[in-house]
Amino acid sequence: MAKPFFDVIVCGSLHLDIMVGSPHLPRIDETVSGTEWRMKCGGKGGNQAVMPARMGAKTAMIGRIGADDFGSRLMAHLAAAGVDSSCVDVDPLVGSGMSVAIVDRQGEYGAVIVSGSNLSIDPDRAAQQFKMLGGAKIVLLQNEIPEAVNLAVAQAAREQGAYVVLNAAPARHIGSDFTTAIDCLVVNRVEAEMMSGHAVSDPSSAAEALAILSDTTRDVIITLGGEGLVYQAKSGKPQRLDPHPIVVASTHGAGDCFLGALAVQRAKGADLDQACAAANSVAAHFVSTPEDQRSMVDFSLR
């Protein structure tokens, strides 16, 4: 089997995010006077591709944008980070994906996404693009694109020996074919609760959900934000990592940062324990850095 050309290949969503600052998140029927707004290139796929590239991993993106200004901004952002975007297609009919995210004074946020062209990725073409790129050690997938696309890429990746990571966000039912095609499942507490049917409120209840989601065919990680994470390798026992003591600047993008850093470490040959510890550290640094300064910070581990 030929050596993979890339360290990390991400197949997923690209969104142009409209970030709105607010004193607090609106309640139902409430109109809040905001403090600022700005554009930010995102989408879970795009975020998870940019982070490993910025950490020095050879990274490529498979996705789809619209023939619009948002799409041009998204492509420029990937290029600036050093991500190979040769397999990001342009949809002539459907606009680029976008979202509106509201961030409060404590750094917590809520968002609404409009998927647009992300939903028109062709599964067969995406699988062929993975092969055209020359494969990768690690493949990152998320649930902001159709499962048929994820399945096609996962199967192509597994055929070439790649380690396939699914960030099941947002949570949805996962078909049995897809379940057997992934090597690692990563979810936050909300997604863990939805997928396991078990309430997750703290590390102890997360460990109970972990037992439901874990099996002998895949690794499972449940991230808990300010309470660290719990995880279990497919051949191991449940483990817990405490959070790093930090002052939160913004939690926006923290999960994608964790995934990107995890992929980098796994591509370097780290086991799950080492990769989770490293990604936990990088994510803590990320969350404690103001968003307008993150593009200037080196998040690579020393």
Question: What's 132's domain CATH number?
Answer: 3.40.1190.20
Say what the pLDDT of residue 108 is.
82
Looking at residue 215, its pLDDT comes to: 84
Q: Which domain holds residue 234?
A: 6-25+34-296
The pLDDT value recorded for residue 1 is 59
Q: Would you say residue 302 lies in a domain?
A: no
Q: Is residue 1 part of a domain?
A: no
Contact between 193 and 200 (Cβ < 8 Å):
yes
Q: Residue 194 domain-assigned? A: yes
* pLDDT at residue 81 in the model: 95
Count of domains observed in the chain: 1
Point out the residues of the chain with pLDDT beneath 50: 302
Residue at 264 is within a domain = yes
Reported as a single tens digit per residue, the pLDDT across 79-136 is 999 999 999 999 999 999 999 989 898 878 788 889 999 999 999 999 999 999 999 9
Distance CA 208, CA 205 (A): 5
Question: What is the predicted pLDDT for the residue at 191?
Answer: 94
User: Does 301 map to a domain?
Assistant: no
The Cβ of residue 23 has, within 10 Å, a number of other Cβ atoms equal to 11
Q: Quote the CA–CA distance of 138 and 59 in Å, as a whole number.
A: 10
* 261 part of a folded domain: yes
Residues 6+ apart with CB under 8 A from 212: 196, 197, 198
pLDDT, residue 297, reads 78
